[in-house]
Amino acid sequence: MSVELSWLSATVGLFVVYILGEAYAGHRQYSGKELLSARDNLAPYGPLMGRAKRATANMVEAMCMFVPLVLLVEASGRSNQWTELGAAIFFFARLAFAPLYWFGVPAVRSLVFFVGVVGLVMMFLQVLPFSGVS
């Protein structure tokens, strides 16, 4: 398995942690009866639940960029030290992003988000047709 695919599999595992964090926040805010219902009349999200929902939604958006990039790297045979480093940077940025979002740390969270974007850009630049990478 390539390094990038290994980072992808680790990121999928991390995505499960995001979902578990959201589930934990849900259990903190709502009763078991409410969570087992159709959830039509739940109270508005409290701060923790709202942040957990937004963090998970943000991870979905990030995965919509990361997964195709990893697959493009694999399909094009353009794996190199930059794509490997970009995937690692993305993973560790997303690892730090979740707790920063859950606990409401605004400025550092935004910085970490952009570090993850840098990892994506590093990978993207290597799969562009005119990038010069052979």
Give tens-digit pLDDT for 26-39. Answer: 888 877 777 777 77
User: Per residue, what are the HEC states of the chain?
Assistant: CCHHHHHHHHHHHHHHHHHHHHHHHHHHHCCHHHHHCCCCCCCCCCHHHHHHHHHHHHHHHHHHHHHHHHHHHHHHCCCCHHHHHHHHHHHHHHHHHHHHHHCCCHHHHHHHHHHHHHHHHHHHHHHCCCCCCC
How many angstroms separate the CA atoms of 63 and 43, rounded?
Answer: 29
Total number of domains constituting the chain: 1
CB 91 within 8 A of CB 114: no
CATH number of the domain where residue 74 is located: 1.20.120.550
Give tens-digit pLDDT for 38-82. Answer: 777 777 888 999 999 999 999 999 999 999 999 999 999 999 999
Residue 134 within a domain: no
What is the percent of the chain with per-residue pLDDT over 90, rounded to a whole number?
Answer: 78
Residue 132 within a domain: no
Domain that holds residue 121: 3-127
Q: Given this model, what pLDDT does residue 45 score?
A: 85
